[in-house]
Structure formats: structure tokens, C-alpha cells
Homo-oligomer: A and B are copies of this chain.
Amino acid sequence: MKAKVTIREVAKAAGVAIGTASRALNRTGRVSEQAIAAVTKAARDLGYTPDAVAQSMRTRSTGVVGLLVSDLANPLYARIITAVESRLLTAGYALLVASTHNDGQREKTLIDLFRRRRVDGLILGPCQAETPAYLDQLAADGPVIALDRDFQGDNAGVHVDHYHGALQATRYLLNLGHTRIALLTPASVLRPGRERILGYRDAYAQRGLQPDPKLIRAEKSAMDFAFSEALSLLGSPTAPTAFLCLGTRILSGVLQALRHSGRLAPDDVSVVSIGDTDLSQLFSPAITSLTWDLEAVGTAVAELLLRRLDSPAPLEQERILLTTQMVLRESCGPVAKAPAAARKKTRAAS
């Protein structure tokens, strides 16, 4: 353990008082050019590094922000986090991260952990435990930014317009003649799922239709869940003719189910997914996708937080809504004339 060099030693080496050294280093208050030069030189010579812990102790600001998402390994979050980290770094902030795994209890534990560490701000992604009671208490400690999540009270945050995204995608399928469109999305208790269901329903409603409730599968997002859900859907006598795969790992489960049941897109069933992944682009057929700019989400979150950090007085309640785009590819087509089973036979016989 090399002895850390403190500001005290720098001051002594520079031949000034400790207070002057501090001011020189931080360019704060009135300091002579001469003092600045001497202190700077001494600091460099000694290899002085300010101790952030001591600074935090004094200034009551740690320069650390905490970020909580349900799963760090989710590629969508991973990209958002990268953007957040990048933007925050330019402002000198470090990023503490953790996964809640959609567990409200765990989320609380993690928030407490972060609070004890005295993070300057908090970014909270969707978690089953919507609007926990301790949230107001939290806001007293520093800015809390919602990431695609709804809070009661002051819910500043960045949100994706899943409502219009789902509306547009559903409408698109409806236009192709589909009326039995399956909607697979993560937990309806989370904002993304809730909004998507609303958009989906409204698209139907605008046609004077009402979707079969059985077609809405909005619980977990695990891939094998999507697989078994899709399989059971496909096995039904009134199987869907289209799949809206609105969750990160849902597409692969549905594709497996299609393969497993001998269905082909877009002839037998149409497929729409989210996120412009390798799989969407390279699968045959390429998958029509609902996308949004993940980097923009991350940057917006970071900038909103930074702004609140500068002016802790919560100005207006700021909500940023980002739109989705639909990338048309090859996985959707008009609803099949003959039922899938019939077509399969035809194909096999030829």
C-alpha cells in the first residue's frame, strides 16, 4: 500500500496553506496565479489524486448516480446503459448499476444500497413493483428519473411511445386482413406492456372490432415462456394468423414455435417484432420490426438527470416521449386463404 498523497502534503510542498491549495486545485475563490502554479506543480510532482470520498463527505455530493433495470443482460437495456454511461462520464459522473430481476423486494434493497452510498441521482427502469411507497421519500434525496416507467407524483423521465407503436403495428396487420393477431409482451403491470395493450386494443376498436382476449399474452418475457405460449396459441382451433412479438426475447421463442409447428412466415403467419436485432435482420424471412432509438433514450435519460442535478428545484415536470419506427421487411403478408394445416398438406403432396 503506497501511502496516498494528501492535499496537506501538496500544500506543504507548494509552500502554501492547505486551504489555498484546495482553492488552487478547484479554481474556486480568489487565488493568485502564482499560488495556482506552485500548487499545480506540486500536485503533479507528487502525483496527487484528490480523494473523492473525502470530497463527498464535505460537499455532500458523490458524483455517482445509480441505475436500476430489471436485467442488465437485456440487450436493449445494455445499449441504453452504454449511452447513459457515456453521457454521464462527460459530466464526470460514475455509474452504479444493478438488476432488479423484476423483484420489488430486491429493488427496494438495491435502492437502499444506493441511498446509503449517497448517489446523487437515481435512474429507475420498469420493475413489477410500480410506484413503491418509498418513492417520495426517495425524491427528497435527489433526482429520480423514470426510464420507461410510471411513477405517482413527480414522474420526470424518458418514455418510449409504445402506445402508438403497438397501434401502428396492429393497424398494419389489420390492413393485411388479419383479425386474429396474437400480442406477446412482458408483464402488463409494466408501462411498456400496458401501453402496448392499449394501442393494440385501440387499433382494433378503430376498426369497430374487439380482439379475442385469449390472444393477449402479457406476462413474463422469458424466451421459453414465449415459446410455450406461442405453441399453445398455434395449437388452438382458432389459431392467430399474426404475432406481435413485443418483448426482447419473445421473437426467438415464437420463431421456434413456428418452426416446431411447421408454420412458415409470411405465408402461414405474419410476424412483427421489436428491436432491430441481428436476428430480425438475418432471419429468413427478415422480420418486420418496431424500433426506437436506444442511444437517444439513454442520452435523454442522462441529460434529464444532469439537468435536475444542476437545478435541484424541480422545475416543470419533464417527460420526454420518444417515438417508434416501423421497419418493413418480409415477415408479414396477407392472411392466408386456406388454413395452415391445409396448406401444409398441399405443400407436402406437391
Chain A contact residues, CB within 8 Å of chain B: 1-2, 49-54, 56-57, 62-64, 71-75, 78-79, 81-82, 85-86, 89, 92, 94-99, 110, 112-118, 137, 140-141, 249, 251-252, 255-256, 259, 277-279, 281-284
Contact = CB atoms under 8 A, between A and B. Distances in A.
A330 B254 CA distance: 21
Contacts of A95: 96-98
Contacts of A116: 49-52
B72 A75 contact: no
A82 B99 contact: yes
A256 B140 CA distance: 51
Contacts of A85: 72, 97-99
Contacts of A252: 278, 281-282
Contacts of A2: 137, 140-141
Contacts of A99: 82, 85-86
Contact of A118 (B53, B92, B118, B279): B53
A277 B277 CA distance: 11
Contacts of A114: 94
Contacts of A97: 81, 85, 95, 97
Contact of A53 (B53, B72, B78, B259): B53
Those 7 A-B pairs whose CB atoms lie nearest each other, nearest first: A252-B278, A78-B78, A73-B82, A52-B116, A2-B140, A73-B79, A73-B78
A315 to B, nearest CB: 17
Contacts of A112: 49
A74 to B, nearest CB: 8
A53 B57 contact: yes
